[in-house]
Structure 1
Amino acid sequence: MDRVWAFPPRGASRHAAFSILGGNALRGNIVLEYQPRTYRDYRDSGRFCTFRVTVETTDLYVKALCPLERETEQLVRECRGQIEAAIARRPEFLASLTPIEEDPRDSPVAMQMIRAAAKAGTGPMAAVAGAVAEFVGRSLLALSPEIIIENGGDIFARVDAPFVCGLFAGSSPFSNRLGFKIDPTGLPVGICTSSATVGPSRSFGRADAAVVVSYDVALADAMATALGNRIHGYSDLRKGVEWAMTIPGVKGALAVLGDKMAVLGEIELTPVSP
Structure 2
Amino acid sequence: MKKCISSKAFTNRTYRNLIDGDGLSTFTVRVKETDLHFQAEMDLSRQAKEAILKCRAYLETHIKAFPEFATTLVPWPAAMPMPAIIRDMVSAGVAAGVGPMAAVAGAIAEHVGRDLMPHSPRIIVENGGDIFLHTSGESTIGIFAGASPLSMTIGLCIDASAHPMAVCTSSGTIGHSLSMGCADAVCVVSKSAALADATATSIANRVKGAGDIQRAIDFGKTIPGVDGIVVIVDEKIGMWGDIRITALGKKG
The TM-score with structure 2 as length reference comes to 0.91
1:54 alignment partner, one of 30, 39, 61: 30
Query: Does residue 148 of structure 1 match 2:120?
Result: no
Cα distance in 1 for partners of 2:236, 2:112 equals 35
User: 1:207–1:232: 8 Å Cα contact kept in structure 2?
Assistant: yes
Greater fraction of residues in helix: 2
Q: How does 1:1-274 map to 2 (within 5 A)?
A: 35-41=11-17, 47-273=23-249, 274=251
Q: SS of the counterpart of 1:248?
A: coil
Shift of 1:263: 0.3
Instruction: Look up the equivalent residue of 1:75 and give its one-letter code.
Output: A
**Structure 2, unaligned runs of 5 or more:** none
1:189-235, Cα deviation, whole Å (9 max, x unpaired): 01000111112455311100011110010000000000100001222
Q: SS of the counterpart of 1:169?
A: coil
Shift of 1:162: 1.5
| Count of equivalent residues | 244
User: 1:127–1:222: 8 Å Cα contact kept in structure 2?
Assistant: yes
Shift of 1:183: 2.0
Cα distance in 1 for partners of 2:22, 2:178 equals 39
**Structure 1, unaligned runs of 5 or more:** 1-8, 12-33
1:109-167, Cα deviation, whole Å (9 max, x unpaired): 11110010000111000000000000011111111011000000100000112211001
Cα distance in 2 for partners of 1:107, 1:67 equals 27
Q: 1:35 to 1:171 in 2, by over 3 A?
A: closer
Q: 1:44 to 1:209 in 2, by over 3 A?
A: closer
Q: 1:140 to 1:191 in 2, by over 3 A?
A: same
Cα distance in 2 for partners of 1:202, 1:133 equals 19
Shift of 1:42: 8.7
Q: Which has the higher contact order (CA 8 A, sep 6+)?
A: 1
Shift of 1:45: 7.1
Cα distance in 2 for partners of 1:52, 1:206 equals 29
Q: Structure 1 segments of 4 or more deviating over 4 A?
A: 42-46
User: 2:19–2:140: 8 Å Cα contact kept in structure 1?
Assistant: no
Instruction: Look up the equivalent residue of 1:153 and give its one-letter code.
Output: G
Q: 1:10 to 1:64 in 2, by over 3 A?
A: farther
Work out the percentage of aligned pairs sharing the same amino acid. 41
User: 2:18–2:142: 8 Å Cα contact kept in structure 1?
Assistant: no
Shift of 1:38: 2.6
User: 1:113–1:124: 8 Å Cα contact kept in structure 2?
Assistant: yes
User: 1:122–1:222: 8 Å Cα contact kept in structure 2?
Assistant: yes
1:220-272, Cα deviation, whole Å (9 max, x unpaired): 00000001000012221011112111100000011111111110002210000
User: 2:22–2:139: 8 Å Cα contact kept in structure 1?
Assistant: no
Cα distance in 2 for partners of 1:45, 1:214 equals 19
Q: 1:156 to 1:202 in 2, by over 3 A?
A: closer
